[in-house]
Each structure stands twice: as structure tokens, then as C-alpha cells.
Amino acid sequence: MIRIAAITACPTGVAHTMMAAEALKKTGRSLGYEITVETQGSAGAKNVLSPQAIANADVIILAADIRVDPARFGEKPIYETRTSEAIRNTESVIKAALALVNSATQTETTPVHTAAVAPEPVQAPVHQATGAKKLVGVTSCPTGIAHTFMAAEALQKAARALGHSIKVETRGSVGAQNALTDEEIAEADAVVIAADTKVDTERFAGKPVYTTSTKQAMHHGQDVITAALVLPVGQTGSSAPTAHYADSVKQAKSAQSQGRTGPYKHLMTGVSYMLPIVVAGGLSIALAFAIGGIQEGAYPEGSLAAALMQIGGGTAFGLFVAVLSGFIAYSIADRPGLAPGLIGGMLAQSLGAGFLGGIVSGFLAGYLTKFLAENIKLPANLEGLKPVLILPFLSTITVGLLMIYVIAPPVQVVLNTMTDWLNGMQSANAIVLGLILGAMMAFDMGGPINKAAYTFAVALLTSQVYGPMAAVMAAGMTPPLGLALAGFLFPNRFADEEREARGPALVLGISFITEGAIPFAAKDPFRVIPSLMAGSAVAAALSMLWQVELLVPHGGIFALLIPNAVTNLFLYLLAIIIGAFVTVAALFVLKRPIGATSQVAGQPKPVTSV
């Protein structure tokens, strides 16, 4: 007897998923075949196919409107179609899938993976490592500024170098740009997702999708493109990569997979949604101070300053903890986690637990909702109640009660203690904190450690602690500024492409985009990164020592143009300048002239005078 294993899936995981499953089971059995169906949806997978069922299957049917990973099916013949086809033309779908078994038997080749939206069997193209290919990609990072666009540019450059073409959609702070069309996705041979936040891959259903980080795309663009093109869609191309490269790709994918599913990824997803609210709120408060001045009491009712303060301090800053919590939960448990996460964050804010409570409530809501989704079993006709009623309600009640009675009180004590300590810091403690925050900002330039320092400073704005924000922004501006100045002052220590990047680095530096230093650091990390850390640590320490306070969380030099946005403005600018020249001095000492290096290697090059 012929055995068939199938998976049905749709975005909601309710109606079409169940209807397609029932149609396949009923029709398959009426035709005399043994068929097992796994369903996937918003509440998780049901009737999961066992390894034994997959091993015994003669063919796999994927009736899905979202992407289903085919890796576990190995070399089994795979036929792909939509749930609507499986519902309306079930018998044709099954016969088309069985045709693959006959085709594979007659040609005595490796199994074929066919993708279709109609019931006619059409063999999908095999991805080779040679020949011009079309790719599409999406890049995204938590702030949606530098890493997003730098990763896109790196992928485009890598694809051109390999003889391929790629169109990259950027998910930035102002929304999606260079958006991919349905036609471009349909024509693509592979999809690359280079993202540090959650990206919905539903529209890429049936395509090979290679997921990595923006950092990997920037530093190893050609490896990412190659890995995407050799990604199996049912079988691999004959031009397989070497064993050494395959091991490297496997290790990189494993490391990126752990990073994508870990707590850091969920936290950064929350931060990426929170940042626009914090920036808008901070600028509104700064404008209120600029118009009405800084005063102890409230502004006169009805005045413009009072309205701006209500927008920024009363609303935006009252909302961002809830958004942080809600989207941490969303990253973990998808849509069912959003409601308990938002409500838990609002409770954290109203109970005085602040951003620390919001982080706790976000993770609690996300993992609790995910646990309930995986363990609550309901009849098929009631599955639709889980994502819209049962999961949000149970999670919200549980998270809310835990926040009120268990979590918020001790977290409030911790937050108040930390706030009092930061407000009452003496010079020595302020310098130490500045050195730590500054070094963190320059260590990985937009990576996890940098984002941890920045998130810490942004979160303190709600507690009216403004010193760390000033220190962090100064430390983030210093690396690109120092590198740009060094490139102008002693260009013989930099390659041609680095000298060309001096101007852009200068602009990125004054805009508080630390990632502008990455191209320099990537070429010579052991000399450049310590130099950057030294300059940033000095700038942040001086900012803390001189008690500079900054009310806005982003904008660089442009935010400083707002009256009253920063205190001790002259000293703040001096701290940034001193930090930048510390970086310049360290680079002068640590980096050798390129001409001297080339002569040692037997390749003399003309040396530009300092």
C-alpha cells in the first residue's frame, strides 16, 4: 500500500488548515492509500508526523499558505500546493504527488521536489551553485537605521561579485523601502533574510529561505548568498560546496539560529517597536522645555508647552513600557502573546515597576502563552477559539495577577534603589559608570552589548534620570568621528576604500550612528576596536563627571540644536571632541602605515605623507 505523509498550514491555522487536512485524509483513504496529516497554525502543530511515519512515506504533500520547513523530510519526494487546491481538487493533488514517486522510480535519480499552485505536477528548478540566479532579500535591525541598510548594500555587492542579482527590501525605522513585489518573489531562486528582529516569512511560502543576522550579511555576504542558493528545496544542486565550507555554513547557521530564538532576539524585537515611541516622546518633552522653560510645577493649562508635555511625558512615556513588553511577548508567542504582554507592561508602569517590570512581564507573557498553546488540546472545531479567546484571556489573567501580587513590588524596590543611586552618584562612581557604558557602546558597534547599554539609558528616561543617556550618545558618536578624523590626519594608515569612507563616517558620527565604524573595525579589529573603546569610555566618563543631562534618546548633533534638550552643552561637546581625539591618538599608535606593511610583504606601495 502506498503511504502518504502530509502537512497542511494557513496563516491562522484554523479553517483552511483543518479543511485541507480532512479533504486529504478522506480522499486518500477512498483511493486506497494510507495517509497521515499534520496540521500547523497559530496554536502550534497538531498530529505531528513522527520520524517513523516520514520514513515509511512514499511521498510528502505540503498543502500550505505559509512556509513549511522541508528539511526533516530529507530526500523524500515533496509535492507543494495551496490549501485551497487541496480542498477543491484533492484527488488531482494526490495523483500529482504520486506521479513524483513514479517519476523518481523510472529515472532512478534523487527525489524531486515540486512546487505548485495548481494540481498539475511541475518539477521545481534545482538550485545550482553556478550560473546567474535571481534572489530577493529582507534586512532589518532593532533601530532600523545603519545595520539595515549596510546589510542590504553588502548583500547587493556580494551578489554582483558572484554574478547573481538580488533585490533587497529594507525594514527601517520609517517602514519598508524598496518593497518586494509578488512577481519578484515568484521569480526568485532563493530568499535571504538578514535580520536581528522578527520578520514574517509567510509571503515566501515554497521558496528556499536562508535566515541570518545583519552582522553576518555585512561581514560574510558572499557566504550568505552561496548558502542561500545551495539550500535544499527537495534536493541539492550537483555543484555542492566543499566539506570545509559546508561545515562553516552549518556552524554559522546553528549559531545564528540560537541567537534568533534566544532571549536577546525577543528583547531586541521589543526594543525596535519601543524606540520610535521613546524618540517621539523625548523630542516632545524637549520642545516643551524649549517653549515653556524648565520649571518645577506644571505648565499653564491650555498652553502649547503643556500640550507637548502631555504628548511626550504623559502619553508616549506612559506607553512605551507596554509596547516593549507587548512585542517581547509577540516575538516569543506570536499574536496570542501580544494582549497579555501589553497589559502586563501597562501594569508594570502603573505599579511603579518601570522598564524592568516591563521586560519581566514581556518574557513571562510570551513564554506562558507559548506553553499554553502547546499544551491545551481542543477538538478541531474549537481550535479557532485558542488564539483569539482562550490563550489571551488565560495569559492575561495569570500575568496580571503575578505582576500585582508577586513581581511588581520587589521590582519597584530595585528600580527605586537604582534610580536613587544614579541620582546621588558622586564623581568617582559617575566616572566608573561612564567608563563602563562608553566601552560597551564601542565594543560591538550596534551589537548586543551596544544595544544593552543604549536600552539601559533609554529606559532610565522614564525615571527622569538623564545622565546615562548623555554618556551613551557621546560614546556612540565618538567611534565614527575618531576614525574619520584619523583618516584625514594620517591617511597612510588606511586603505583606499577606507579613505573614501571618511566623509560618510563623519556624517554618521555626528548623527549618532555608531555602526559607521564597522567597515573600519572589520578590516583590523584588534587595533581599531580597542582604540574605539578607549575614546568612547573617555567621552562617556567626562559626560558623567560634568553632570551633563540629555532629554532625547537619539538624533546626535541635531538633537542638541533643540533648546534645553541638553544641559552643559559646551562641556558635552568638549567631552565628545576629547573622546574622538583619544581614539585618533590610539589609532596612530596601534595602526602601522600600509606602505610599511606592504614592503614587508614584498609588495612596495607608495606611502602618502602624514
Query: Does 485 or 561 have the greater pLDDT score?
Result: 485
Give the residue from 601, 334, 280 showing the smallest Cα distance to 458.
280
- Distances in Å between the Cα of 489 and the Cα atoms of 52, 177, 484, 530 are 67, 37, 9, 19
pLDDT at 343: 95
SS3 177: strand
pLDDT at 322: 92
Q: Number of folded domains in the chain?
A: 4
pLDDT at 404: 93
State percent of the chain over pLDDT 90: 20
Does 101 score more than 70 pLDDT? yes
- Tens of pLDDT, residue by residue over 529-558, are 899 999 999 999 999 999 898 887 877 888
In a domain, 460, yes or no: yes
- Tens of pLDDT, residue by residue over 196-252, are 777 777 788 778 888 888 888 888 888 888 888 876 653 332 223 333 323 333 343
- Tens of pLDDT, residue by residue over 79-99, are 888 887 888 888 888 888 887
Q: Of 380, 411, 442, which closes a domain? A: 411
| Statement to judge: residues 202 and 327 lie in one domain | no
Residue 289: burial class (beta carbons within 10 Å; 0-12, 13-18, 19+): buried
Does 294 score more than 70 pLDDT? no
Using pLDDT thresholds of 50, 70 and 90, give the confidence band for residue 175. low
- Tens of pLDDT, residue by residue over 301-354, are 888 888 888 888 788 888 888 999 999 999 888 888 999 999 999 999 888 888
Total Cβ atoms within 10 A of residue 184: 14
Query: Does 128 or 178 have the greater pLDDT score?
Result: 178
Query: Does 159 or 18 have the greater pLDDT score?
Result: 159
Distance CA 139, CA 153 (A): 10
In a domain, 602, yes or no: no
Distance CA 150, CA 62 (A): 36
User: Distance between alpha carbon 29 and the CA centroid of its chain, in Å?
Assistant: 44
| Statement to judge: residues 277 and 389 lie in one domain | yes
In this structure, the chain runs to a length of 610
pLDDT at 532: 92
CATH number at residue 39: 3.40.50.2300
Query: Does 297 or 407 have the greater pLDDT score?
Result: 407
| Statement to judge: residues 142 and 169 lie in one domain | yes
Amino acid at 554: H
| Statement to judge: residues 377 and 437 lie in one domain | no
| Statement to judge: residues 267 and 252 lie in one domain | no
| Statement to judge: residues 10 and 44 lie in one domain | yes
Query: Does 522 or 53 have the greater pLDDT score?
Result: 53
In a domain, 569, yes or no: yes
Q: Of 411, 443, 460, which closes a domain? A: 411
In a domain, 270, yes or no: yes
| Statement to judge: residues 280 and 222 lie in one domain | no
In a domain, 608, yes or no: no
In a domain, 120, yes or no: no
What does the mean pLDDT of the chain come to? 79
Q: Of 68, 84, 115, which closes a domain? A: 115
Which residues contact residue 298 at a Cβ distance below 8 angstroms, ignoring those fewer than 6 apart? 306, 309
| Statement to judge: residues 188 and 222 lie in one domain | yes
Does 8 score more than 60 pLDDT? yes
CB contact at 8 A, 369 and 329: yes
Distance CA 155, CA 137 (A): 8
CB contact at 8 A, 549 and 605: no
C-alpha cell at 383: 481550535
Does 507 score more than 90 pLDDT? no
If residue 339 lies in a helix (H) or strand (E), which one and from where to where? Answer: helix 338-350
Give the residue from 259, 218, 195, 220 showing the smallest Cα distance to 518.
218
> How large is the average pLDDT for residues 103-107?
51
| Statement to judge: residues 400 and 532 lie in one domain | no
- Tens of pLDDT, residue by residue over 579-606, are 999 999 999 998 888 764 444 334 444 4
Which residues contact residue 232 at a Cβ distance below 8 angstroms, ignoring those fewer than 6 apart? 70, 71, 113, 127, 208
- Tens of pLDDT, residue by residue over 569-582, are 899 999 999 999 99
In a domain, 205, yes or no: yes
| Statement to judge: residues 38 and 183 lie in one domain | no
SS3 481: helix
Across 123-137, 212-226, 406-420, 449-463, least confident range: 123-137
| Statement to judge: residues 571 and 555 lie in one domain | yes
The domain in which residue 223 lies consists of 134-234+244-260
C-alpha cell at 438: 562608553
| Statement to judge: residues 436 and 554 lie in one domain | yes
Annotated catalytic residues are 141
C-alpha cell at 206: 515554497
Using pLDDT thresholds of 50, 70 and 90, give the confidence band for residue 116. very low
C-alpha cell at 35: 495517509
Across 35-39, 270-274, 323-327, 521-525, least confident range: 521-525
Amino acid at 55: A
Cα atoms in the 13 Å half-sphere on the side-chain side of 25: 13
In a domain, 305, yes or no: yes
Kindly report the backbone phi and psi dihedral angles of residue 172, in degrees, each rounded to the nearest multiple of 5, phi listed first: -100, -170
Cα atoms in the 13 Å half-sphere on the side-chain side of 403: 32
